Amino acid sequence: MKKIILLVVIIFMIILFTNSAWANDGLIGKYYIIKNYQNHLITMIGHSLVVGDRYLDAANHLYQVERLRGRVAYAKLIQTQQLNSTGTESLKTWIGGLFAQANTNGPIGIYHTHSDESYAPSEGTSSKQGRGGIYQVGNTLTKALEKQGVPVVHDQTIHGEHDAMAYDRSRRTAVNMLKKRPSALIDVHRDAVPAELYSETVDNQQVSKIQLVVGRQNPNFEANNAFAKQLKAAVDKKYPGLIKGIFYGKGKYNQDLGPKVVLIEVGTNTISKGAAERGVALFAAAAKDQLYNKANGVVNRASLRSVFWILAALVIGIAFFLFINHKGLGEIGKEFTGAVGETEVSKQENQEQQGDRGVEEP
């Protein structure tokens, strides 16, 4: 009986773990439809959705999922945002970036959590064991960045099955890449929704749109979100509409490893690999300055910000210490005034003593 109970508990934990992991993983052959309350389509997502997930569309309208009915999600418009490719950062972003390991002159790190992802129109399958077509898209991104003078490290480690543990396996790859002190880490994927969601024409060529993904459950969310929005703003200037949007899903996607870690989905399984390669090449050309900036001014500004926050923290710490030990700033002022008064009294007493000694001397 005990063995049966133990077996039931193990099976339950496996199911529970798998379901929770899907929130941090891509669906295979299934997708969610996101609509507003007027029943208008916002987008389709090849990820499991939960209430609280958000989506920033191509026009920078931010929606939040409020209700789920099967695979249809209903979302409310939260706000329309103004994006800035120069990166106006919030207080939390600055503080997070201060303690995160980031190197503005390091190479761009590229890897693939879902090694099997492929493009059915070009490869005859959406999933290819070993290195799927997504690796060729990663190679194209690498070459496009290198053509712009950006150093790249493309790690082609295979992470096995497209399952709930894929991000755990790819995490080891990402951690190993951090030893090279990269400027940014890009996890390259493809989506799994109908082709029309990603089809785009640029200069009379069919290209694939790109979607950015940011995990909501990681301590670097503010910094990674700012980074993703900088990328979108930069690409929007050169190729409006090429960025399909930014999906904010429940999970980490290994983005807790640093302040400039992003997941990009280049096309979908129902679009050609050639279109995906052309799309990612355009992305590289438009976003290279946000991915990699070797200008000294940028480094200097970052250094100055770090110094500023260190000094600010020091001043606050000293003030807090004095506040505790002197029972308030008012007491500090009184003690300071008293100390000055005591000094003046001491000077006067010394002068009087010297005068007395002068009288007594022959």
Residue spans per domain, the chain: 2-77, 81-294, 298-333
For the whole model, what pTM was predicted?
A: 0.73
Is residue 340 over pLDDT 50?
Answer: no
pLDDT in tens, 294-308: 543 223 333 334 444
Radius of gyration of the chain, Cα coordinates, nearest whole angstrom: 29
Give the Cβ contact number of residue 184 at 10 Å: 24
Is residue 327 over pLDDT 60?
Answer: no
Burial class (CB in 10 A: 0-12, 13-18, 19+), 181: middle
Q: Taking the CA of residue 185 as centre, how many other CA atoms within 13 Å lie in the half-sphere pointing to its CB?
A: 28
pLDDT above 70: percentage of residues in the chain: 68
pLDDT in tens, 205-235: 999 999 999 999 999 999 999 999 999 999 9
pLDDT range class, residue 355, cuts 50, 70, 90:
very low
Phi, psi (deg, nearest 5) at residue 110: -125, 135
For residues 66 and 346, the model is more confident at: 66
What would you measure as the largest C-alpha separation in the chain, in angstroms? 118
Q: What top-level class would CATH report for the domain 81-294?
A: alpha beta
pLDDT in tens, 261-277: 999 999 999 999 999 99
Question: How far apart, in whole angstroms, are the C-alpha atoms of residue 198 and residue 175?
Answer: 31
